[in-house]
Structure 1
Amino acid sequence: MNVFFLEYFLLTVTCFVLMDQGKSSRSCGLRSFPCVLCQKRTKPGERRYVCGDAYNSFRKYLFKNFMIKVKETDVSCSRCRNKYYRSNQASSNTVSDDVVYQPPAKRAKQDLCSPKHISLPFQSVKGPSHSSCCICKRRGHKFVVVPSCIRNNVFIEKNVIVPAGSRCCPGHIDGDLLKDDAMKQISDLKSECQFNRTDIFNLLQQVRAIALKNQNKRIDFDSDSFISDADYYNLLGLSRGSFDDICSHITDIRNTKNRSLRTCIGL
């Protein structure tokens, strides 16, 4: 009886051992595809064989950091590969000690403008305003900024200051000039205008540039280079030859420093 019981016990233990070995062999077999790094079972969509040439750097990473020698049948999961890619990217972004650090360039300081405390008796347009036209006072939103050339022209012709940044209707502008009807609509002016030294300097520079540009366009009947034949006819209704003939017959007008004989006759 004891012998039978002992044989039955040994047979049962042997069966359990064989079953355990079968389970371990199935779990660690080739069909389970464990990750070479984390040893977790990989899914078909995320496993990659790491024995190819495309994974040379990954195999070096495994051997350098974890002392793992990759076999031909080893695979890796997407999680371990992503860890490797992130660590590789972080190491490439770090600045090495050999690189000389260059601080960012400092931004240039803006020129400080002095306060507008100089009051001059120049009439000026009220503004600037983004919601109304500085000429016809119409309210709206489709306005354009008045160019500096037009502001200078208004100052020269009407002695009116148009502040920088003022806006007007697009229909008031004709090229680089203000239309005649728009020039007549300028009203509701302030009696004084506030300036700083920068504004005064810019105004003088702009007026000087206009004077230099138009220095050859003044009326001078004493020089043949300033007025053309067409200008003679438009101003006097005579040709240059007829005007010279008239001047040759008039001798009782005296030439002075301020006005010559030809200028007197032309005016």
Structure 2
Amino acid sequence: MAKSYSCVLCNKTHLTVNNRRTIINEKLRDYLARTLKRNVENETICLKCRAQVYRDMKTVMNSQQIRQGIATCQSNDEDDPDFLAEETLPSELISPKSIQLNLSSTSKSHRRCTLCQKNSSNRHRQVVVPHEARTQAFIEKCIVIPTNSRCCPNHLLGNYFTQESFKDTREEDYQRLTGLTRNQFEAVANTVTDLRKSEIRSVKTCLAILLVKLRTGLSNSILAILFSLEIHQIQRTTHAARSSLMKSFVPSFFGFQHMSHDKFTRDLTTPTARTLFADNQQDTEILVLDGTYIYLQKSPHHHFQKQTYSMHKGRSLVKPMVIVATDGYIPNVLGPYYADGHNNDASIIKHAFKTNADEINTWMHEDDVMVVDRGFRDAEEFLKKNEFQS
């Protein structure tokens, strides 16, 4: 691959042979070294910058000669007591040709909104971002918005952006990061009432950190970068969010006790399932049970690794027992259980009824139907003894 030459001043790349010169001249090299505060030996300069530097050098040399002449005149006039010397002007300050600022900038587009990236259409027309709004974005967020950029009208209040427009997250980003829609996220955040708001994070930020970690599996160090927090703050935040959800959200929306047996039978049992499995009996509950897998990384703890390694799958995992209504609603998940040979579907369901996991014996009634696969065949007699149909 041919070598690429770039100008030492303007950083212009891919200079041709006719448009570049190697810095060999000693005066030119010394002048650029003093200006750029670094060694420029054997570097390249374009012809345009080279001509400009020579003009600047000539101006500096002329100003130095003028100052030397003034100094000579002043030394000759020092003997004259009636002579009043004028104040000497400060030496000329030479600034670099260009200064690079690390500022973020949005793309200039007439099709997409600058903030939410929504496409413009006949039903959803966009407006030009006012000058006041562009100035507001630069002052508050250090973001440069090009002239004639477009945005949605609902982002503006007069000629300025609303504060919510800077904080809005797209619907697709909600689902990618948290697995929830915007409305679902807002609903969960409203139910979390005991989560304390602090100076470094809000309630929604605290909840978002936990959901993003569960959704993506990112480490605390990466989450700290994304949310502009320290690692120990991420650790405390995830612990506080989990404790708050377990205290205020989970008991109201998950588990056998959050819904009565009658409501479950009336609202969550489909007519087809009632016809096939319950002979159209309105008070019979129909549940679908099956074990699933949650895969884990290999643990350095030998005993835990043995308990979580599945010979069937050849990987480390744990087994939750998922209980589903016939319309797809999940009232509860039991477990998780270890993946070794002691825990198959039959042994897990036996353990749940023997230990009365989450008050399952109280919640279920006689003649309720459980739809299972052949993995529960060893528990068929046990379920019949408890007067359940399978």
Question: What's the TM-score once normalised by structure 2's chain length?
Answer: 0.21
Q: Greater relative contact order (Cα 8 A, min sep 6): structure 1 or 2?
A: 1
Question: What's the TM-score once normalised by structure 1's chain length?
Answer: 0.28
Larger Rg: 1
